[in-house]
Amino acid sequence: MKLLCAADLHLGRQPSRLPAALLSASAELTPAAAWRRLVHVAKEREVRAVLLAGDVLDDEHDFFEAFGDLKAGVEELVAAGIAVLAVSGNHDVEVLPRLARAVPELVLLGEGGLWQTHTLDDGANFVHVVGWSYPARSVTNSPLATLPSALIGLAPAPIVGLLHCDRDQGGSRYAPVTSAELAAAAVDAWLLGHVHRPDVGGFTPVKGDAARRGHGGAPAPVSGYLGSIFAADPGEEGGRGAWLLDVADGAITLDPVPLSPLRFETVTLDVSGLRDAADSGQAVALAFNQLHARLRDEHALLDSGAVAVGCRLVIAGRSALRSELAKRLAEDDPRELLLTLDGVSYFVHDVRLEVLPAIDLATAAAGSDPLALLARKLLMLDGPPSPEQQELLARGRGALAAVAAGRHYRGLEPPELPDAVVADQLRQAALELIDLMGAS
């Protein structure tokens, strides 16, 4: 029996960081487009059911926006003999039950925080699906405590669990559970929602049964986050989509099915060997061609229905051309790039110049001049944790917070300043100072 499983559709959400050149195609770059692709794949693969592990909608205000897309997809699936089972998450705790009543073909499991089972039968096999839905936006206790009673009396068959939860996050307000609890439950496969990065397996289509087996040759356990179906912002890099779960002869396998029309990646360009800053544009174009070739070959990019790939361009390496590269980036901004390869549009949403100076920082740090001081600070930032590093970060955080509190930014939300952000700001400032020292 084949089941197509997904989580965190967030119908109604709009993508961020799209360039102006792609706004005309924005209707194709939405969770609704990924949902339509899922419906198509489910029919093409002749699955028995589609399982949705929560946050099908982004929030309660998306009822009318999401209603048409969800209703049309569910009805198309049911007409093809494909059942649709879902649980609600923290985003759609109120709106998904209303939608389920408006679209009766959608089977909502576990409404009100009570575990519920539904048995699927394809004539040769049958599978029990057990699910739990949020009774409120905030749930601070583990829902697994009441699971055993829901499994009493079930006929012997594989059991698949649908749950939207926070795993191994003590004190969470979003149905906290532990890995130990999940492993101890009498469930053969846990399909989790809530965390948008998939960890149920690597999101690269695998070939052959051996790729899906554990070290001992037995089928690898199936348990983890399915991840979001759609990449809504640059924080959701890598493949996004659904998972094809296959139950045969008691064994369960799971394969990724890329679906998101929008994908985000990081492109790192090493300019250590660059002799002329004027050649940087050509090097960037080559890097994007190489990225496209990799995604096409390794991630079935074209088969996934991808429309666009947004990239964070990181220019790295060690070079004496750092200041020249910075000037060229200011004059010819890569964020104006829109490169189309095999019908897929590539754009740059962020550029980071992380080129180190063409000096040995360790040697420079041994001196007593201002350059030595900067070199020591850089080495400290990139070195192991230490009290000196924490003191430097604390001072940097204070300075950045003071700038954000200035009158020019009055009324704006104060920025989040974790260690990584502060360290990056300090690093960039130090590298610019080293450039200025070299130019003087």
Tell me if 34 sits within 8 A of 261, measured CB to CB.
yes
d(CA 436, CA 438): 5
Nearest one of 58, 68, 51 to 94, comparing CA atoms: 58
Q: Is the pTM of this model over 0.75?
A: yes
d(CA 228, CA 7): 6
CB atoms within 10 A of CB 98: 14
Cα dihedral: 273, 277, 281, 285 (round 10): 0
Percent of the chain with pLDDT over 70: 93
d(CA 130, CA 154): 11
Tell me if 342 sits within 8 A of 292, measured CB to CB.
yes
d(CA 126, CA 124): 7
Tell me which amino acid residue 360 is.
D
Nearest one of 14, 22, 96 to 52, comparing CA atoms: 96
d(CA 49, CA 128): 12
Residue 261 burial by CB count (10 A; 0-12/13-18/19+): exposed, middle or buried? buried
Weakest mean pLDDT among 40-54, 71-85, 102-116, 248-262: 248-262
Q: 412 or 195: which carries more pLDDT confidence?
A: 195
Identify the three-state secondary structure at position 16.
coil
d(CA 97, CA 54): 11
Q: Give the chain's mean pLDDT.
A: 88
Which pair of tokens denotes residue 195?
């965390």
- Quick: pLDDT tens for 88-127: 999 999 889 988 998 899 999 999 999 999 999 988 888 9
Whole-angstrom CA distances from 159 to 109, 120, 131 are 14, 10, 10
Which pair of tokens denotes residue 332?
């010819």
Tell me which amino acid residue 242 is.
A
Q: Is the pLDDT of residue 300 over 50?
A: yes
DSSP assignment of 29-52 equals SSHHHHHHHHHHHHHHTT-SEEEE
Average pLDDT value for residue range 373-399? 91
Percent of the chain with pLDDT over 90: 58
Identify the three-state secondary structure at position 1.
coil
Q: Is the pLDDT of residue 204 over 60?
A: no
d(CA 274, CA 283): 9
d(CA 165, CA 177): 7
d(CA 379, CA 318): 15
Res. 26 pLDDT band, cuts 50 70 90: confident
CB atoms within 10 A of CB 224: 20
d(CA 194, CA 238): 17
Rg from Cα positions in the chain: 25
Whole-angstrom CA distances from 33 to 28, 36, 75 are 6, 5, 16
**H helices of 139-271, where?**
147-150, 179-184
Beta bridge partners of 2: 246
Nearest one of 3, 31, 8, 26 to 260, comparing CA atoms: 31
Nearest one of 4, 85, 84 to 47, comparing CA atoms: 4
Res. 357 pLDDT band, cuts 50 70 90: confident
Write down the pLDDT at residue 61.
67
Average pLDDT value for residue range 229-249? 91
d(CA 143, CA 178): 11
- Give the CB-side neighbour count of residue 6, counting CA atoms within 13 A: 30
d(CA 379, CA 371): 12
